[in-house]
Structure 1
Amino acid sequence: MDGNPSVSGSHGILVPGDLLIGAVIPIHSDGVFPLVTFKEKPTPDTCKVFRLRFYQPFQAIRFAVEEINRNPDLLPNSTLGFYVYDSCVVLQRELVGTLWMITGLDRVIPNYCCREHPPLTAVIGHSKSSHSILMAHILGLCKFPQISHYSTSSLLSDKRQFPSFFRTVPSDDFQSRGLAQMVLHFKWKWVGLIASNDDYGTKAIEVIRQEVVKEGACVAYTVYISDNLLNQNLPNIVKTIKNSSANVLVVFSVDFYLFPLLVEMLKQNVTGKTLVASEGWSISEILAVEKYSSLLFGTIGFAFYSSNIPGFQEFLNSINTHNTPGILWTQKLWEEAFGCTFINQSNLTDALKNVKKQCTGEENLNSVQNSYNDVSRLTASYNIYTAVYVIATALHDLSQRQALDGPLVGDNFSDIGHFKPWQLLGYFKNVRVKLSNNREVFFDKDGNPPAVYDIVNWQLGLDGTIKQMKVGSYDTLNPSGDIFSINKKLIWWPTGNQEIPLSECSQSCPVGFKKAVIEGAPVCCFHCVPCAQGEVSNQTDAIECWKCPWDMWPNSKRDRCFRKPIEFLSYEDYLGITLATISTFSSMVPIFIFRLFIHYKSTPTVRANNYSVSCILLVSLSFCFLCALAFIGYPQPEKCLLRQAAFGLVFTLCVSCILAKTVIVVFAFMATKPGSSLKKWTTPRVPYMIITICTFIQLTLCIFWLSISPPFPQYNIEAKPGIIVVECNENSQFAFWCMLGYLGLLASISFIVAFLARRLPDSFNEAKLITFSMLAFLSVWVYFIPASLSAQGKYTVAMEIFAILTSSWALMFCIFLPKCFIILFRPNMNSRENILAEYGQGKDNQQSEKNIASPPVYPSLAEYGQSKDNQQSDRNIKVHWFFPLLQS
């Protein structure tokens, strides 16, 4: 290769111009390297396979240069020329091609440049990130502008190491974050990561892992693959993939490394996995074959952004073998496209024998459709087209002497063809190019363009082949603010439908549940635990449940709170209205008996049982029944303050009356002994004194209680879960039980005294009746204590009302029922004649009257029962002492 204008060869070409652009790109692949013996000069290496899809980017350079040269507004006084060198995707050839362009000679001289005019403005390349890193170190020494259309490694963003490197494709950092966001966009929480074991894969997959984990998703495993089959355990790797519950695999690699992995996956019959592809293989043609369709169908991934280049397809089909730079490459295109062969003119006879179809060079490219003239997805071609325009715009800015905060300020140029590479570098940093699709290209501080990717989906065509269909885009500068733009209706998944597949370590927790992490497992692996009582969660996969407000309660699903029902014993409640009816009816019974006693107040049965005390007792019993009404209805503050005190006072009055009745009976019989000191306690004032003193003590207790620690209404949310119980808080349980205990003490004393007096003469003696009444009374209230403690809510109040009504009925039934029975149904027993006949001594009533008037000296009560003539003694005691006293 020499330095003359318009040079062409098998490895590189030069198209002359006032300014030159260099491009090191692959045209062929699969390089063959001769064996070096060090005994002779090595023969040149060769490249075996001509790639139609590699040849298209070369034509994109030609097309862009010709467009610029025709454009009067861009570099109007200069023309662009270009170098293109076929790297064959081999590092050695990329190094050779770069140094060839810099030196300007037909041989490579490192660190030497003899070309001064026309100047080489920038180098486009290289094919792989690892190759670009090496070239960037070399070109960066002199700050020679380098712009790559294919290298994506994030290492190249380090401006301290690579100060002159730029690219028209986004860094892998953007792609890694974008792939992680796409995983999260489809709500995949459990993924496997596969990466090529090189700079391209290892760093990118680590960024993906960090981004995925940061957003709450989990990585099931991370495996690395390489092109060296001896250094990887593919069966175990595929076994891990197959046995994992992760149904989504993020694969960050180039297509070449995936062949052995896919073969092993077919061998182990791996199915049901959705692959997420990096741009390194997302539009690979060599993988899009029927053999791998069962594995790759439904794959979704990122591809370099592509756009239509107006007039490009017509340009591709217009070239011919006569006027196209790089004639040898064009002939290879012709042979691949039309299946013919160009005749070797030096050995025409032998060539004609071996050629089946001879190329004429007049074939029409419009008649064929292949990867060369397919412009449906212009990725590499679009990026290299953009790179040419970036270089041209920077040169144009230089020619216009735009102000720049850099080394060019104050410099004078006699002509655009004389500048140093580092001087142009400043304009690269500030270049802004608006392309025909209205997208603006510029570089950030790290030399990266705005990140934009196409999202492609691998779908089966009607002919059984796989097609990569564009279904959306990822654009960090989208004006609408929506980075992802995906048409989900266009996507087909490996399941054969358009329903997004799931990939979870654990099934999603529904509302009403929370996640409980499994010890030692990733956070995405968990158990679903129902929310505790009183707690809710209204979102799936809730980490914690939260408590409802105190006045609210969860619904049955525990996904929302609703108002707790308020409970109290109301008059609208069946239980409340029943108890109120019984209480009201029961209060009328003592009044009826009271009226009966008034009507028969002159009869012996009524007069013999202390008529006045009985009337007080009946009135108090009526109030006992009525005080139950204070416990029904909404607990108002006034009601809470008075109801227990009223209950205690009324029942104390009632029990005091019974105690007075009992004590006076005992005193009456014990005072029969001559000279007994108890005679003074047998006056009619004693029962009233007992009633007053006993009731006053209870009144004092209640006043202290209501003054120091008064009861108050409260909302009880602990008694019954899910219900607000409106109740009266007694405030001081000690005072309450003191009041109730005092009442029990009076009843116990009455019971004991009545029990001891049960054997006294019983025609007018209530001792037995009082004994039974107090026994029933105490039994009811002893039962009430544990019953009230076990009841909850309104049933506690109902239990106390039941105890009030039952104990009141016990007193009324045991004391007054026998008397009412005699009054109403045995009137003959309720007469003076019957009483006198019962206590008479034979036929002589006068003797009885005499005995009444002048009683003999009777034995004391202690000696009662030991006399030989007990009947006569009993009659005389009752007639002389007991009867007149009780009727007074």
Structure 2
Amino acid sequence: MCTGMETKISCNLPNENITGYISRPGDIIIGGTFPVHFQITYSDFHFTSKPPELQCQLISSEFYLSLQALIFAVEEINANPELLPNVTLGFQIFDTCKTLQRAAQATLLMLSGGKEMTPNYHCYKGAPLAGIVGDPASKRTILMAQILGLYRYPQVSYLATSPILSDRNLFPSFFRTVPSDEFQMRGLAQLVSHFGWSWLGLLANDDDYGQFGLQIVKQEIIKAGACVAFAENILTSKPDRNAPHITRLIRMSTAKVIIVITSDSDFLIVVEEMLRQNVTGNTWIASDAWATSTLLSNRRFQGILSSTIGFAIYHGQMPLFNEYLNSLSQSHLHDLFMMELWEQTFSCKWLDQEKFHALMANGTMKACTGEEKLESLMMELEHRVSLHVYTAVYAIAWALHNMLYCTHGYGALHAGTCATISSFYPWQLLHYVRNVNFKTKDGSHVFFDANGNPPAMYDIVNWRVSANGSLEKVTVGKFELNSPDGTIFNVYGAEIIWNNHTQVPLSKCSPSCPSGSRKVIVPGKPLCCYECARCPQGQISNMTDAVECHPCSWDTWPNLQQDRCLPRAAEFLSYDEPLGYSLAVISSLFSLTPITILGVFICYKKTPIVRANNYFLSCLLLFSLFLCFLCSLGFIGYPQPEKCLLRQVAFGMTFTFCISCVLAKTITVVIAFNATKPGSRLKRWTGVKVSYCVLLVCTLIQTFLCVMWLILSPPFPEFETDKKPGVIIINCNEGSSIAFWCMLGYLGLLATISFIVAFLARRLPDSFNETKFITFSMLAFLSVWVSFIPAYLSARGMYTVAMEVFAILSSSLAVVICIFLPKCFIVLFRPKLNSREHLMGKSRGKK
């Protein structure tokens, strides 16, 4: 290091005429860089003569006020007896004109002592440099941080947000008072999810800021289930920023919400092109680089940019700062920047007294009088950037304060030593900056994490048209990663205005699928571009844009809209159903028929025709037919467990007993007529024993089958939900279908035997046509039950039961009609035929 006197030495670089800086002496110096001018004039470099200096134009009022925030903070600290007592802070502030060249020059000048640029040397005796506050642009900040990191000078940026700067290996001495873009971009993706936008456009600068932001936002959007309609770069190397192409793309796209990650000056060119092509109706999501831009607040852009919502750097309170700015406007000759801002704001020129009178005489230019008021300009700005400059100065001041009050033996440096406030090394102060922890006057907690980042906190702002027609930014929420109450994302939705409405605009590739339907992905298209399909039968969706439908529980079924489940209708052959009570009435009425005939038989039991029909078997048959009619009632009504257990068994036993009686009658008739032949051996079988044996044996076989059925696999109530949509069919499961068909098959076997025996005996004397009647009855019986089988197997629900009831009634009635109706007709209406002679066929001979 060069030491000694303030004399120029031979180790300097070629002299550069650095303009655009403000300084103030002090015991310790804080440096600062600000893009006070945001436009420069370029010259062609032929190198035939010395290249001219950069010509900076157009003052940025926002960054000029930020520069004043540094001066204000230094003055406030110097006036505070409790912070850095007996130590006066000074400053060196440089205008970078938004160029890398000026940023590098300013950095080297401050490191060299503030006089000339001499790399690796501090050649002028003076106050030590504590650190540098700056720069706002990540590109320039990275360049400065690479230089400052070599010597471990603390650098605190108030607006550089590039995540690359969090790398402590590359930038060991860098800190910032605004969060890294990584937090902001994840927050923007959460904002998109909060409002339910799923079809988005992305615009981003083609620099590090835009491309990193684009990558993170795109990744987070896709992770949240949304889709990107387009992602286009704003080409900063082109004068038109690729605006014509971008505008055409936006007009053609169906995405109505667009995230823009760029600076206000670059986006201004795109907005101007959209104004020319009259592209409106979009909702813009702004990154912090333009979310509070005054450049885009012109009333010309209200049709395009109103309802914009975005993330802005946190806006806190700076007590007395406005008063300080007002005092500056009254002393307008405070610095050259103020004079230039005054001329630019009021379109006038500062002139000496002689030139003033000459100018007033010819009237070619308006002269500045000093009576103009800057208060209106000051009030329009929110001082968001200024607050973070203010915080950055205080972070360095508190680090110096902690170093000042270090106690030897207990210090943070090696072996408990402390640095001397008048001659410290930059790396010593760096330790204190890294561990700074304080609260600002508005209560905000300031500290740096291991990567030099502050607590992530953003305001969510909404752009709306103010009373004067310009676009104002209203805070409508907050994103705070370290929120005390744990609420990271908080949006006051009721305060947001969307294109003069309060309803959130839609941005979807496909219209929402209503409840009762689900989304169907279209092959070859993004996931957000889908079609809607009704839910499958038996399933519902009770929300819009459902990804899948859900089945109802077993006892419920979807309504017509398929958006909720309703209790299924129960179906069984009920007495309340027309079919149920009709069959019940028919069964009851038909059951009276065999009872009536039985009464007739009892009254005329001594008559020949009744006696010839085996009176006792006929009574048993009529009684069994009565039971057959009544057993059909067991199939009607709610299938209780007891009813399921007994109804098929009762049906099988009564019909077995009935057919056994018919078979016994048939065998008795055959034996009786064949026994009359001379020498017949059947005379011994003419008694009632044969009938009873047939009846007993046939019934016992069916009884055995039914008992085994009930023991091994008894019937039980069953709820069927898959046979008829929306209906629970309550029926009796037969338990063992084999047992059921064995029981029914045995009945068919008995009926077939009876039919065959009766058919073979059909040639008995005509006057006694009992076998013919039995043949017809068994033929009808078998026809009914053979027809029943396919009908039973094809029927569903209560109609299955109704088919069985109908078969029971039909077959029982067939037996009654075919066997007993002719006899009753003779007994009641043809008594002359009810004689022994007629039965024996003798009446014909008398004629």
Question: TM-score, normalized by length of structure 1?
Answer: 0.88
**Does the aligned pair in 2 maintain the 1:298–1:492 contact within 8 Å?**
yes
Pair 1:279-2:288 in alignment:
yes
The offset of 1:815, in angstroms, is 1.3
Unmatched runs of 5 consecutive residues or more in structure 2: 8-16
**1:332 aligned residue (340, 358, 377):** 340
Structure 1 residues 101 and 740: alpha-carbon distance in aligned structure 2, compared to 1, 3 A threshold: same
Larger Rg: 1
Q: Percent identity?
A: 50
**Partner secondary structure for residue 33 of structure 2:** strand
- Partner residue in 1 for 2:488: 483
- Partner residue in 1 for 2:606: 602
Structure 1 residues 179 and 322: alpha-carbon distance in aligned structure 2, compared to 1, 3 A threshold: closer
- Partner residue in 2 for 1:39: 48
Pair 1:559-2:566 in alignment:
no
**2:829 aligned residue (803, 825, 836):** 825
The offset of 1:461, in angstroms, is 3.1
**Partner secondary structure for residue 318 of structure 2:** coil
**Partner secondary structure for residue 753 of structure 2:** helix
> What's the CA shift string for 1:519-568, capped at 9, x where partnerless?
22222222222222232333333322233333333333333434434443
- Partner residue in 2 for 1:698: 702
**1:444 aligned residue (426, 445, 449):** 449
Structure 1 residues 805 and 501: alpha-carbon distance in aligned structure 2, compared to 1, 3 A threshold: same
**Partner secondary structure for residue 528 of structure 2:** coil
**2:226 aligned residue (217, 224, 245):** 217
Number of aligned residue pairs: give it.
832
Spell out the pairing of 1:534-613 with structure 2 (5 A cutoff).
534-613=538-617
> What's the CA shift string for 1:366-418, capped at 9, x where partnerless?
6x522xx12651111111111111111111111111799953662244x4121
- Partner residue in 2 for 1:859: none
**More deviation, 462-471/382-391:** 462-471
Q: Distance in 1 between matches of 2:357 and 2:844?
A: 173
Letter in 1 for 2:338: T
Spell out the pairing of 1:735-746 with structure 2 (5 A cutoff).
735-746=739-750
> What's the CA shift string for 1:819-847, capped at 9, x where partnerless?
1122222223324576689526448xxxx
- Partner residue in 2 for 1:860: none
- Partner residue in 1 for 2:788: 784
> What's the CA shift string for 1:249-302, capped at 9, x where partnerless?
111011222244334434554332211111112222222334433222221111
Letter in 2 for 1:302: F
Q: Distance in 2 between matches of 1:672 and 1:78?
A: 151
Pair 1:314-2:323 in alignment:
yes
Q: Distance in 1 between matches of 2:704 and 2:355?
A: 138
Q: Distance in 1 between matches of 2:820 and 2:339?
A: 132
**Does the aligned pair in 1 maintain the 2:826–2:834 contact within 8 Å?**
yes
- Partner residue in 2 for 1:886: none
Pair 1:146-2:155 in alignment:
yes
**1:261 aligned residue (259, 270, 278):** 270
- Partner residue in 2 for 1:421: 426
**Does the aligned pair in 2 maintain the 1:205–1:252 contact within 8 Å?**
yes
Structure 1 residues 719 and 54: alpha-carbon distance in aligned structure 2, compared to 1, 3 A threshold: closer
**Does the aligned pair in 1 maintain the 2:94–2:106 contact within 8 Å?**
yes
Spell out the pairing of 1:732-771 with structure 2 (5 A cutoff).
732-771=736-775
**Does the aligned pair in 2 maintain the 1:318–1:365 contact within 8 Å?**
no
Letter in 1 for 2:41: V
Q: Distance in 2 between matches of 1:681 and 1:759?
A: 21
Q: Distance in 1 between matches of 2:331 and 2:592?
A: 129
> What's the CA shift string for 1:317-349, capped at 9, x where partnerless?
112686965x22232233234443222589889
Q: Distance in 2 between matches of 1:492 and 1:444?
A: 36
The offset of 1:459, in angstroms, is 1.8
- Partner residue in 2 for 1:796: 800
**Does the aligned pair in 2 maintain the 1:344–1:351 contact within 8 Å?**
no
**Partner secondary structure for residue 379 of structure 2:** coil
- Partner residue in 2 for 1:410: 416
**More deviation, 67-76/39-48:** 39-48
**Does the aligned pair in 2 maintain the 1:89–1:127 contact within 8 Å?**
no
- Partner residue in 1 for 2:14: none
**Does the aligned pair in 1 maintain the 2:158–2:178 contact within 8 Å?**
yes
**Partner secondary structure for residue 649 of structure 2:** helix
The offset of 1:220, in angstroms, is 1.6
**More deviation, 127-136/250-259:** 250-259
Letter in 1 for 2:287: S
**Partner secondary structure for residue 185 of structure 2:** helix
Structure 1 residues 544 and 322: alpha-carbon distance in aligned structure 2, compared to 1, 3 A threshold: closer
**Partner secondary structure for residue 266 of structure 2:** helix
Structure 1 residues 105 and 701: alpha-carbon distance in aligned structure 2, compared to 1, 3 A threshold: closer
**1:461 aligned residue (456, 466, 472):** 466
Spell out the pairing of 1:614-629 with structure 2 (5 A cutoff).
614-629=618-633
Letter in 1 for 2:168: K
**Does the aligned pair in 2 maintain the 1:3–1:105 contact within 8 Å?**
no
**More deviation, 174-183/426-435:** 426-435
Pair 1:473-2:478 in alignment:
yes
**Partner secondary structure for residue 416 of structure 2:** coil
Structure 1 residues 685 and 309: alpha-carbon distance in aligned structure 2, compared to 1, 3 A threshold: same
Pair 1:815-2:819 in alignment:
yes
Unmatched runs of 5 consecutive residues or more in structure 1: 844-888
Spell out the pairing of 1:518-533 with structure 2 (5 A cutoff).
518-533=522-537
**Does the aligned pair in 1 maintain the 2:235–2:242 contact within 8 Å?**
no
Question: TM-score, normalized by length of structure 2?
Answer: 0.92
Letter in 1 for 2:421: I
**1:389 aligned residue (370, 391, 394):** 394
Cα root mean square deviation, aligned: 2.8
- Partner residue in 1 for 2:109: 100
- Partner residue in 1 for 2:11: none
Q: Distance in 1 between matches of 2:428 and 2:665?
A: 126
- Partner residue in 2 for 1:369: 376
The offset of 1:678, in angstroms, is 4.4
> What's the CA shift string for 1:116-174, capped at 9, x where partnerless?
54111010111310110111011001111001111111111111111111111111111
**More deviation, 689-698/90-99:** 689-698
Q: Distance in 1 between matches of 2:483 and 2:305?
A: 30
